[in-house]
Chains A and B, each alone.
Chain A
Amino acid sequence: MPELVRVAVTVNGRAYERAVEPRLLLVHLLRDELGLTGTHVGCDTSTCGACTVRLDGETVKSCTIFAFGADGREVQTIEGLARDGDLHPLQRAFHEEHGLQCGYCTPGMIMAATAILERLPEPTDDEIREGLEGNLCRCTGYQNIVAAVRAAARMEARA
């Protein structure tokens, strides 16, 4: 068996260190090694975006990055959004605007949307749709997903 590789990574503000097989993907490090199962595996071909997380602030598909790629870096997952039990505005907005049906794509949608709102505090619908083009919803609930991102932008503007 190839030599294990040491990965030191900060996830949602907490430092972890693991020795992993080089072939381990980031999404499996998060889910299987660290128990953070909020990040989902959908298509496993970097198409659907259900596995989207932030890596040093950039949105990435964690099924298409090796765990060693996160060594020395910071990862944020859906579990890292709520503060002291209060949902993040995007989480609240997805709830209130019925932005999810089965919910499978939701963690990836919300992580992708966090990057949109950081870059564009008042995005147009076109900008929201473009920012979410790497995330698929098989329930096809896109209208409400876009409405939820819009609503979260309004909440953050009021906050």
Chain B
Amino acid sequence: MLLREVAYARPRTLEAAVRLLGEHEDARALAGGQSLTNAMKQRVGSPAVLVDLAELAELRRIDRAADGSLELGAMATYAQIVLSPEVSSTHPILAEVAHQIADVQVRNRGTIGGNVCWNDPTNHFPPLLAALEARMTITGPNGEREVGYDEFFVGVFMTAAGPGELLTKITVPAPGACGSAFASVPIGKDGTCIVNAAACVDGGAPRIAIGCVAGVPERATGMEQALAGGDLSPERVREAARGLGQALDPPSDVHASAEYRRHLAEVLAVRATLQAAGRAA
């Protein structure tokens, strides 16, 4: 397909990338391109300038910080996350979820930064990073700033990384004795999620986040509070999830009605929480 005309820049430094993104109105950062290229084909997005991040090797790093947290460069691909010993040693849930995205070819190109910056409500990583309470580092003309996931995700296809800014790093706190799990009902194996849920259990109240039901991942705060005592028996967890769906206002589409999504939100929140509890034990 012939795309709309677009100008191209391949900066060699992060500073140059940020400068280019700020200089041009309607410039767009290109990471793995697995969402952006398709949006350009559909004419949903037609940036004037593509700022290709391919040369910025530092954005592909996966590092361990001194406090034990995991630092994922925004350009780390799904395939890289699946195979990373650093990820598997403390946060295997990230590899498990990366492995469920699309297919081999897409995982070889798609990046975690692209996944969260695109913030398609059906994406896998926003709810997972909400349950893991990740923090995002955004680099702009005035340097770096760090925001929590709750500030980062703003709405459908919208994040706190504004024009002239770039998401550079995602920091996932050290897990402690945490067990994490992800549950979804996708359209076909490894397809787009109809509803998904992530849970993280580490002794105190579990952290539970639901995806695909709003413009941003929704923390199931009522369910979390009901489980604060630490009893995560199947009966208690099912009881705590009751009514969760009614508090949500998910969309209806060709794949599922809003009512069915409310039902799935409860089912998947229970599945993810019980599996996370099993892994924490």
Contact = CB atoms under 8 A, between A and B. Distances in A.
Are the chains A and B members of one assembly?
yes
Going nearest first, the 9 A-B pairs with the smallest beta carbon separation are A134-B103, A22-B8, A2-B7, A23-B3, A58-B108, A134-B105, A133-B103, A61-B105, A64-B37
The interface size bin for chain A is 20 to 34
Interface string A101-141: 00000000000100100000000000000010111000000
A1 B5 contact: yes
Contacts of B4: 23
B8 A134 contact: no
A134 B102 CA distance: 7
A5 B10 CA distance: 10
A64 B109 contact: yes
A44 B1 contact: yes
A69 interface: yes
A46 B38 contact: yes
Contacts of B34: 46, 64
A133 B1 contact: no
Given A25-B1, A45-B41, A134-B104, A68 B109 contact: no
B109 A60 contact: yes
Nearest to B36: A64
Interface string B4-19: 1111101000000000
Interface in A1-46: 1-3, 5, 21-23, 25, 44-46
B106 interface: yes
B50 interface: yes
B259 interface: no
Interface of B: 1-8, 10, 30, 33-34, 37-38, 41, 50, 52, 54, 79, 102-106, 108-109, 189-190
A59 interface: yes
Interface of A: 1-3, 5, 21-23, 25, 44-46, 49, 52, 58-61, 63-66, 68-69, 112, 115, 131, 133-135
A64 B103 contact: no
Contacts of A52: 105
A2 B1 CA distance: 18
A133 B190 contact: yes
Contacts of A59: 104-105, 108
Given A23-B4, A46-B105, A66-B50, 18 more contacts: A1-B5, A2-B8, A23-B3, A23-B6, A45-B41, A46-B38, A49-B105, A58-B108, A59-B104, A59-B108, A60-B109, A61-B106, A61-B109, A64-B38, A64-B106, A115-B104, A133-B103, A134-B103
